Chain A
Amino acid sequence: MRLSRRTREKLQRLHEKGMLLDTLRGVWPQRLQLENRPAMWGELDVAQKVEEPVVLTGSSIMRLWSDAAQHLAPLPLMNRAFGGSCTWNWVRGGGHGEPGRQVAAYHPSGESTIRIPSNYSRTSAPLSHLFPLWFSGGALLRLERHWVRV
């Protein structure tokens, strides 16, 4: 079986991230390498919680804005972004509970209701995209083992 250069490069990148097999199983989003896990929302709140905050959310570009509190002073700031996050992580978390609910809890009046929007969609690697690979006779799995040995 001959793989195109682009496919080989993709496989190499996935392997380097240790995610080749997960991707083939279609479970990539669950294994994303997320940084600064706000499973520690509670910890952060103890140290940083402020009244009527400006909440920074999203991915690493926000997370790494380490001087944001100084830059935006005197606005009360809370940085709840986490590195590696994709858009679906902000709807359903992916190991982080429900970030939207966590952020909304900073509303001064508090919030007790939880409703997940019905139009939520998470990108996963659908099998339809992978069937050609599966039908390649397990060559990719052998390739993975080969790389592991290397």
Chain B
Amino acid sequence: MVVHYCGSNDIGYAYDSWVSYEKVAQNAIDNTRAYVQQLEELWPDVRVLLIGIIAGPKRHEEGNTGYIKAINAGYHKLCLERTTTRRFFDLNPTLSENLDPGDILGQPLRDLYLPDGVHYHPQAYEIFREQLKPAIEQLREESTGLREESTGFREESTGLRVASEGRRPLGGSRHEVPPGL
């Protein structure tokens, strides 16, 4: 299986160039779709865990969180098109504070970040482990057919937040693609 996190640098590219954010956001979604589809063509039973772009302090300072939401919504939609083999996972809620119902990203926990406002202190990856390992294990078990009974979701027992068919994924309806994307 493949665990993929990409798109943050696309946002940085838009910030550093004259290419519109809308174009970059749409291309990030299209390219990720192409990558996932390419994997699926070459590796038919591949499972893909797609991680949403994390809105670190730098992205907040740049004022780009709206585009991060748009790209994550696109990623989420991409995964919902094929729920048996693709899952979307958003780490933002566990790396943020001051979350409220109207703001899926909240404010980043700055102590976790290096001074560049993008990358993490090594200890922050403990959160990655805590959050992603159950999701990876679940998806891998499904892919290898070890699961005798497919429960599809283990949010109640593990705090896992994974998009899955018939279940409310992380962020749920708040992951809406804005007009134009």
Residues on A facing B (Cβ under 8 Å): 10, 13-14, 17, 23, 28, 32, 52, 54-62, 64-68, 71-72, 75, 81, 84-91, 99-101, 103-107, 111, 113-117, 119-126, 129-130, 133
B contact residues, range = 35 or more
B133 A86 Cβ-Cβ under 8 A: no
Total A-B contacts with CB atoms under 8 angstroms apart: 169
B46 A107 Cβ-Cβ under 8 A: yes
Q: Can you offer 30 A-B residue contacts whose CB atoms are under 8 A?
A: A14-B17, A23-B17, A23-B18, A54-B136, A57-B2, A58-B51, A64-B119, A67-B125, A72-B132, A75-B140, A84-B9, A86-B9, A86-B10, A86-B31, A87-B7, A87-B32, A91-B31, A99-B35, A101-B42, A104-B39, A111-B42, A111-B43, A115-B41, A115-B42, A117-B37, A119-B37, A121-B34, A123-B24, A125-B18, A126-B19
Distance, CA A71 to CA B126, complexed state (A): 8
Q: Is B16 interfacial (CB-CB < 8 Å)?
A: yes
Max count, chain B CB within 10 A of own CB: residue among A61, A105, A117: A61
Max count, chain A CB within 10 A of own CB: residue among B10, B31, B39, B41: B31
A129 B18 Cβ-Cβ under 8 A: yes
Interface string of B120-155 (1 = CB under 8 A from A): 101001101100110011001000100000000000
A28 to chain B, nearest CB (A): 6
Q: Is B33 interfacial (CB-CB < 8 Å)?
A: yes
Distance, CA A130 to CA B17, complexed state (A): 10
B20 to chain A, nearest CB (A): 8
Distance, CA A105 to CA B125, complexed state (A): 28
A66 B122 Cβ-Cβ under 8 A: yes
> A132's closest neighbor in chain B, by CB?
B18
A75 B122 Cβ-Cβ under 8 A: no
The answer to whether A54 and B3 touch (CB under 8 A), given A65-B125, A130-B18, is yes
Distance, CA A14 to CA B18, complexed state (A): 11
A61 B119 Cβ-Cβ under 8 A: yes
B136 cross-chain contacts in A, Cβ below 8 A? 54, 72, 75
The answer to whether A129 and B19 touch (CB under 8 A), given A58-B6, A75-B137, A87-B6, is yes
Distance, CA A55 to CA B47, complexed state (A): 10
> A117's closest neighbor in chain B, by CB?
B34
What 16 additional pairs, Cβ within 8 angstroms, besides A55-B3, A103-B39?
A: A54-B140, A56-B2, A56-B3, A60-B9, A62-B5, A75-B137, A91-B38, A99-B35, A103-B2, A104-B46, A117-B41, A119-B37, A120-B31, A121-B31, A122-B27, A123-B19
B162 to chain A, nearest CB (A): 15
> A71's closest neighbor in chain B, by CB?
B129
Distance, CA A81 to CA B28, complexed state (A): 16
- The 8 Å CB contact of B122, one of A32, A67, A103, is A67
